[in-house]
Amino acid sequence: MLINRGNLDNLFTGYKAAFAKGFQSAPTAWDKVAMKVPSTTKQETYAWLGQFPKMREWIGDRVIKGLAANGMTIANKDFESTVSVSRNDVEDDTYGIFSPLMEEMGKSSAELPDELTFSLLTKGFTEKCYDGQYFFDTDHPVGEENPVSVANTDGGTGPAWFLLDTSRAFKPLIYQERRKPDFVSKDDARDDNVFFRKEYIYGVDSRGAAGFGLWQLAFGSKQTLDEAHYQAARTALQTQKGDSGRPLGVKPTLLVVSPALEGTAIRLIKTPLLENGQSNPWFNSVEVLVTQWVQ
């Protein structure tokens, strides 16, 4: 290829198309467990965490609930992926071998929210949420005057699995997007990378973060994934109450497991009959989602 501005622009256009192809074809599921929040600054504060707006009979004046003082701040982070293409490869017309690399870069960019959100579930056993407790804890304080301890985990030491209510506008997790992935190049003859190293550089960068939302919508366990523990997790979620003592109406909709528990989850949820021939009471009771980002 003749090295000139027009041909380099065409090369960038081709690589950008390969990037877009990979980005658009990547299967993602983060929006099942996290609500997307556009961000306009370096961090966002979620003062409303812990508030469940419930209807009540209107007697007398309205009862105004103030936003919780123990909200949570999520700081945005920078992410990037960068590759170089030798000028000699462009001159020798072998630049096409890099198109799959650009496509894979697009796929990786699209998968980043999955990695950030689902890996956060695993971290929920050891990292704190808005109320100062671990996201999955046995000691969440609930109640305005005489708080009681509420658990959304039952311990265990095996592979983790998670039962979630993802049917609401609120979600268990938050994905905060500050800037969408942007594919760019440094291919001017005056760029240092070209002048000194004969390399054209292509990369993508974005800004964002993931954080914990409402623990009331999630139950995390490292116990054996069987009928007894699954039923206990469902009961724990469905009996959640707010600070006023009223039921929150939580309904489990999604079971998230790692590849290690895929077969177990399918037998528990997707098999209509038990081994003894009786009907499976948990058949299709929730959707099953298998992801490599939980351990």
Contact 294, 122 (CB under 8 A): yes
Give me the DSSP letters along 64-120.
PPPPPSS-EEEE-EEEEEEEEEEHHHHHTT-GGGGHHHHHHHHHHHHHHHHHHHHHH
pLDDT at position 66 is 43
Within 10 Å of residue 288's Cβ, how many Cβ atoms? Answer: 16
Looking at residues 88-98, what average pLDDT do you find?
Answer: 87
Contact 114, 32 (CB under 8 A): no
Quick check: 220 pLDDT over 70? yes
pLDDT at position 69 is 43
Contact 207, 69 (CB under 8 A): no
**pLDDT tens digits, one per residue of 31-79:** 999 999 999 999 988 877 766 655 555 655 544 444 344 568 899 999 9
DSSP state of 259: G
More confident residue, 64 or 181: 181
Report how far residue 133's alpha carbon sits from residue 215's, in angstroms, rounded to the nearest whole number.
10
**pLDDT tens digits, one per residue of 113-137:** 999 999 999 999 999 998 899 999 9
pLDDT at position 13 is 95
Contact 220, 136 (CB under 8 A): yes
Show me where the domains of the chain are located: 30-80+112-183+212-290
pLDDT at position 284 is 97
pTM over 0.75: yes
More confident residue, 114 or 96: 114
- Residue 251 vs residues 232, 236, 244, 270, 284: alpha-carbon distances, Å: 13, 10, 19, 18, 14
Three-state DSSP class for residue 190: coil
Looking at residues 269-280, what average pLDDT do you find?
Answer: 92
Alpha helices of the chain — where are they, by DSSP H?
Answer: 5-25, 30-33, 87-91, 99-123, 192-197, 227-238, 262-269
- Residue 263 backbone dihedrals phi, psi, to 5 degrees: -60, -40
